[in-house]
């Protein structure tokens, strides 16, 4: 339900729309697209009233729905040009579609989107959900609209296609097309929007220019949190425990359905609704408490490592070096050192080896180059040593222009690479690994670790891995969630595994 919603959308402006599930985003999109009629108020674009799908079509308004709306029995080329066919012949409105022209244009658009299909004659009903969503985007490109409304299409798309859509939005913006981009992915909204609107319970509760707000402010508006103490674990819960959120949302939908169907029933039914509401609230509180406990655990563990590394380096190593100097002085004072010389030499060599060992321990606990030279230098040093010890070739692609990042983000990126390479050595049976750390969209890091090993035999289940005592990928996913990022694992074409990690960041 939408109540007292009003906003303007200017040519060349991208407005981000977000809110929790059930906030009313999809209802608003359907109203703007002419699929539903408002009880009061008007919707117009360039002076033309929008009150039906036909009027929206005539006004140059195009919609990319969360679930693509396509004609199942059409082939790919016909589906792309549906409603915008180019005719040939001299029969006026009876002219036949120009199939050759359609095929040529369809190939160009599919190439622009990076979408490979078996044939332009493939029927829509035989396409995957991802291919159907990209086909819906291709339909919009054919129309050359004045206004584009996008309703959460990215869950069906892999990372590459998500980036393609973001680039299309930037192109539409440059061409003066107005865009309303509805999404729960705040990284995407911050990457392309000029301002952000937040819906909660059918009303606008927040509006701000993108450059003048933060993720925390947007999430606070989404959930109605008032203080940072409660906000932090909820942000993490929304990112890393999506399945739990979906279950909670399913319970809320069940509650809403029960309230509607049982409104006239007896007191027993009303008690059932109340119990269901209490269960949903308990789930939310338990989920938030779990995320807060895990965040504290990771933060405290990193702090302990830092203290231990500093103590070993500043005290133990210095004492051992001093002891080595004392042995040299003692040797020069021995009148006849021939017999004692060998023992003293062995002792000195042992101490030197001990110094090297302690230095290696310090490096594993916390690489000192991170504090002095930054994460790029630390990664290069660690990878050289790891490749030498494991015999696995590593190719590095690091962003030379990457500025210093917050300490927590730098150490997290380094630990992710440590854990990723450890998984490669233990499980992948690989001979080569590629590591890339680069900036992508605005204020986003992309860390990629790709190997040429055996890949995945089945879909990864993090809970099953934890129960079996395999914590590598689970630890990486927790680190990614801690810094507000996203984590994805899939097989590479041609063999091997690729890990893609997106991390939002603010330069120092």
Average pLDDT of 265-290? 71
Read off the pLDDT of each residue in 428-435 and give the average, rounded to a whole number: 92
Query: Rg of the chain over CA atoms, in angstroms?
Result: 29
Residue-wise pLDDT tens digits, 214-249: 888 888 888 876 544 445 455 544 544 444 444 544
- Torsion-angle region of 393 (φ positive above 0: left; ψ -120 to 50: alpha; else: beta): beta
pLDDT at 217: 86
The answer to whether residue 387 scores a pLDDT higher than 90 is yes
What percent of the chain has pLDDT above 70? 73
Side-chain half-sphere CA neighbours of 34 within 13 A: 18
Domain 14-225: CATH superfamily, name plus number? P-loop containing nucleotide triphosphate hydrolases (3.40.50.300)
Sign of CA dihedral 360, 361, 365, 369: negative
User: How far apart (Å, rounded) are the C-alpha atoms in residues 18 and 183?
Assistant: 5
Q: Where are the beta strands (DSSP E) in 358-431?
A: 393-398
Q: How far apart are CA 42 and CA 152, in angstroms?
A: 24
| Residue of higher predicted confidence among 177 and 305 | 177
pLDDT of 31 strictly over 70: yes
**Contact predicate 289/241, CB 8 Å:** no
- What pLDDT sits at residue 242? 41
Average pLDDT over residues 347-356: 74
β strands within 52-133, DSSP E: 61-64, 87-88, 96-97
Q: What sections of 144-266 are H helices per DSSP?
A: 159-174, 186-192, 215-223, 228-240, 242-261
CA torsion through residues 375, 380, 384, 387, sign = positive
Q: Which of 230-234, 401-405, 424-428, 483-487 has the highest mean pLDDT?
A: 424-428
Residue scoring higher pLDDT (189 or 292): 189
List CB contacts of 306: < 8 A, sequence separation 6 or more: 365, 366
pLDDT value of residue 461: 64
Does the domain formed by 370-508 have CATH 3.30.565.10? yes
User: Which range, of 49-53, 139-143, 294-298, 463-467, averages the lowest pLDDT?
Assistant: 463-467
Residue 288 has pLDDT above 90, yes or no: no
pLDDT for 181: 95
Question: Is the pLDDT reported for residue 368 higher than 90?
Answer: no
pLDDT of residue 488: 87
Tell me which residue of 421, 309, 422 sits closest to 365, measured CA to CA: 309
The pLDDT value given to residue 229: 45
Please give the Cα distance from 237 to 291 (Å, whole number). 6
Please provide residue 265's backbone torsions phi and psi, each rounded to the nearest 5 degrees. -85, 180
11 pLDDT band, cuts 50/70/90, is very high
Q: Kind of pairing, strands 14-18 and 178-182?
A: parallel
Mean pLDDT of the chain: 79
Query: What's the angle, vertex CA 131, arms to CA 130 and CA 136, rounded to 5?
Result: 100
pLDDT of residue 94: 45
Residues β-bridged to residue 394: 433
Residues in the chain: 508
pLDDT band (50, 70, 90) for residue 277: confident
Q: Who has greater pLDDT, 303 or 192?
A: 192
pLDDT-derived band at 148, boundaries 50, 70, 90: very high
pLDDT at 180: 95
Q: Dihedral of the CA atoms 151, 157, 162, 164 (nearest 10)? A: -100
Which residues neighbour 67 within 8 Å (Cβ) at sequence distance 6 or greater? Answer: none
How sure is the predictor about 138, in pLDDT bands with cuts at 50, 70 and 90?
A: very high
Q: What is the pLDDT of residue 89?
A: 45
pTM beyond 0.75:
no
Please report which confidence band the pLDDT of residue 143 belongs to, taking 50, 70 and 90 as the band edges: confident
Judge whether residue 493 has pLDDT over 50: yes
Q: Sort 47 into a burial class: Cβ within 10 Å, 0-12 / 13-18 / 19+.
A: exposed
Q: Is the pLDDT of residue 102 over 60?
A: yes
The yes-or-no verdict on residue 382 having pLDDT over 50 is yes
């Amino acid at each position: 339900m939408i109540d007292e919603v009003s906003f303007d959308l200017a040519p060349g402006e991208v407005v981000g729309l977000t809110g929790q599930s059930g906030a009313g985003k999809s209802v608003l999109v359907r109203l703007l697209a002419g699929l539903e009629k408002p009880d009061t108020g008007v919707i117009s674009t360039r002076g033309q009233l929008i009150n039906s799908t036909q009027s929206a079509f005539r006004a140059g308004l195009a919609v990319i729905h969360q679930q693509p709306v396509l004609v199942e029995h059409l082939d790919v080329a016909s589906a792309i040009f549906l409603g915008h066919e180019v005719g040939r012949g001299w029969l006026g409105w009876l002219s036949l579609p120009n199939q050759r022209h359609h095929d040529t244009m369809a190939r160009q658009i599919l190439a622009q989107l990076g979408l490979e299909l078996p044939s332009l004659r493939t029927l829509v009903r035989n396409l995957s959900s991802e291919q159907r969503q990209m086909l819906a985007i291709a339909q919009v490109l054919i129309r050359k609209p004045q206004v584009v409304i996008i309703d959460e299409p990215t869950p069906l798309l892999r990372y590459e296609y998500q980036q393609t859509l973001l680039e299309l939005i930037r192109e539409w913006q440059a061409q003066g097309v107005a865009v309303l981009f509805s999404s729960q992915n705040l990284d995407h909204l911050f990457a392309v929007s000029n301002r952000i609107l937040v819906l909660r319970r059918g009303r606008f509760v927040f509006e701000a220019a993108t450059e003048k707000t933060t993720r925390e402010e947007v999430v606070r508006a989404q959930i109605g949190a008032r203080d940072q103490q409660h906000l932090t674990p909820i942000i993490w819960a929304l990112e890393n425990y999506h399945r739990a959120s979906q279950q909670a949302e399913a319970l809320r939908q069940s509650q809403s359905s029960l309230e509607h169907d049982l409104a006239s029933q007896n007191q027993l039914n009303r008690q059932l609704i109340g119990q269901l509401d209490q269960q949903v609230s308990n789930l939310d509180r338990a989920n938030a408490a779990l995320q807060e406990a895990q965040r504290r655990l990771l933060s405290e563990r990193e702090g302990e490592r830092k203290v231990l590394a500093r103590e070993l380096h500043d005290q133990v190593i210095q004492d051992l070096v001093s002891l080595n100097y004392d042995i040299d002085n003692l040797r020069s004072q021995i009148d006849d050192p021939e017999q004692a010389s060998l023992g003293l030499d062995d002792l000195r060599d042992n101490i030197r080896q001990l110094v090297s060992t302690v230095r290696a321990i310090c490096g594993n606990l916390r690489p000192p180059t991170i504090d002095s030279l930054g994460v790029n230098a630390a990664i290069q040093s660690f990878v050289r040593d790891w490749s030498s010890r494991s015999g696995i070739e590593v190719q590095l692609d690091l962003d030379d222009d990457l500025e210093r990042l917050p300490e927590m983000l730098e150490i997290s990126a380094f630990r992710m690479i440590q854990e990723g390479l450890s998984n490669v050595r233990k499980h992948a049976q690989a001979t080569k690994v590629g590591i890339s750390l680069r900036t992508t969209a605005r204020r986003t890091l992309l860390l990629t670790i790709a190997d040429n090993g055996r890949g995945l035999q089945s879909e990864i289940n993090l809970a099953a891995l934890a129960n079996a005592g395999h914590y590598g990928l689970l630890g990486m996913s927790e680190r990614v969630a801690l810094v507000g990022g996203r984590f994805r694992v899939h097989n590479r074409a041609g063999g091997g595994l690729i890990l893609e990690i997106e991390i939002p960041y603010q330069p120092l």
